[in-house]
């Protein structure tokens, strides 16, 4: 299940550079670049508001979009973006041009489920998340929205590794040489006590 694809309208940018970027931003636009697929990069301008909304909606980096550049529809995957640290709006986006068969590398978030079925968490253990996201290689049309880590049966000191996660077909972790850890059930520093049972489920 992945986020629905969406379309953004863009115009090409003739001038590039600091001055023109500032001018764009004053007009509610942001500079962006489409590159990859062995073609020359295209400099474009997009609606700041539309892009910022998409980023806040979640799944931005794992959703293939279509950018309409003067009538030419280009399928892309966002690869990087910069937010203004002060005002929290988008400053710039890099898009990678993709086709149906493009293999892409993306960071897919991990969702942890069945915390209430983990004996380790029940007695006050702490879910220590080592990786909130896993970098995977996958075809552009089959990017999963998230990976699911099932905590059922995990005791204090147990860990969940990439081999415990059922990966969708065609999804391979970029780290291929070891069974890396996603999370562990850790004993809290002060040891386990009755009171902590209540808060453990809120972690």
Question: In whole angstroms, what is the distance from residue 47 CA to residue 29 CA?
Answer: 5
How much is the pLDDT for 5?
Answer: 86
pLDDT tier at 196 (50, 70, 90 boundaries)?
Answer: very low
Query: Between vectors from CA 148 to CA 144 and to CA 150, what angle results, nearest 5°?
Result: 165
Q: Is residue 2 part of a domain?
A: no
CATH classification at residue 71: 2.40.240.10
CATH classification at residue 122: 2.170.120.20
Q: Is residue 90 part of a domain?
A: yes
Q: Is residue 109 part of a domain?
A: yes
Q: For residues 36-47, give the mean pLDDT.
A: 92
Which of 52-56, 161-165, 168-172 shows the lowest per-residue confidence on average (mean pLDDT)? 52-56
Domain of 162 in residue numbering reads as: 104-200
Query: Are 88 and 117 part of one and the same domain?
Result: no
Q: Report which of 65, 59, 58 is spatially closest to residue 7, judged by C-alpha positions.
A: 65
Query: Are 91 and 152 part of one and the same domain?
Result: no
| Domain count across the chain | 2
Q: For residues 31-56, give the mean pLDDT.
A: 92
Burial of 2 per CB tally in 10 Å (0-12, 13-18, 19+) = middle
How much is the pLDDT for 193?
Answer: 62
Q: For residues 161-177, give the mean pLDDT.
A: 95
Q: Is residue 95 part of a domain?
A: yes
Q: Is residue 12 part of a domain?
A: yes
How much is the pLDDT for 32?
Answer: 95
Q: Report which of 163, 149, 156, 165 is spatially closest to residue 184, judged by C-alpha positions.
A: 156
More confident position, 84 or 143: 143
Mean pLDDT of the chain: 89
Which of 31-40, 110-119, 158-167 shows the lowest per-residue confidence on average (mean pLDDT)? 31-40
CA 141 to chain centre: 15
Q: For residues 70-79, give the mean pLDDT.
A: 94
pLDDT tier at 3 (50, 70, 90 boundaries)?
Answer: low
Question: In whole angstroms, what is the distance from residue 69 CA to residue 76 CA?
Answer: 12
Query: Are 141 and 188 part of one and the same domain?
Result: yes
List Cα–Cα distances, 174 to 92, 103, 105, 106, 178, in angstroms. 26, 12, 8, 9, 10
Whether pLDDT at 168 is above 90: yes
How much is the pLDDT for 63?
Answer: 93
Domain boundary among 99, 125, 155: 99
Query: Are 149 and 174 part of one and the same domain?
Result: yes
Query: Are 18 and 82 part of one and the same domain?
Result: yes
- pLDDT more than 70, % of the chain: 92
Q: Is residue 173 part of a domain?
A: yes
Q: For residues 28-38, give the mean pLDDT.
A: 92
Whether pLDDT at 14 is above 90: no
Burial of 57 per CB tally in 10 Å (0-12, 13-18, 19+) = exposed
Query: Are 127 and 173 part of one and the same domain?
Result: yes
Query: Are 75 and 119 part of one and the same domain?
Result: no
Domain boundary among 99, 134, 153: 99
Structure tokens belonging to residue 78: 């966002």
What residues have CB less than 8 Å from 179, skipping those under 6 apart? 161, 162, 163
More confident position, 136 or 192: 136
pLDDT tier at 19 (50, 70, 90 boundaries)?
Answer: confident
Query: Are 163 and 182 part of one and the same domain?
Result: yes
Domain boundary among 99, 121, 145: 99
Query: Are 71 and 154 part of one and the same domain?
Result: no
């Amino acid at each position: 299940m992945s986020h629905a694809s969406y379309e953004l309208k863009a115009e090409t940018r003739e001038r590039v550079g600091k001055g023109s970027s500032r001018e764009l931003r004053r007009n509610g636009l942001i500079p962006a670049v489409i590159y990859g697929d062995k073609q020359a990069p295209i400099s474009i301008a997009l609606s700041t508001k539309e892009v910022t909304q998409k980023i806040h909606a979640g799944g931005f980096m794992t959703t293939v979009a279509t950018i309409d550049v003067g009538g030419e529809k280009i399928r892309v995957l966002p690869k990087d973006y910069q937010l203004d640290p002060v005002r929290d709006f988008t400053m710039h986006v890099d898009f990678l041009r993709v086709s149906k068969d493009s293999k892409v590398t993306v960071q897919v978030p991990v969702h942890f489920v069945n915390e209430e079925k983990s004996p380790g968490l029940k007695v006050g253990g702490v879910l220590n998340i080592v990786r909130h996201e896993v970098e995977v290689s996958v075809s552009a049309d089959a990017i999963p929205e998230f990976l699911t880590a099932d905590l059922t049966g995990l005791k204090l000191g147990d860990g969940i590794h990439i081999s415990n996660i059922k990966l969708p077909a065609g999804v391979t972790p970029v780290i291929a040489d070891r069974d890396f850890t996603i999370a562990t059930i850790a004993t809290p520093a002060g040891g386990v006590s009755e009171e902590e049972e209540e808060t453990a489920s809120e972690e």
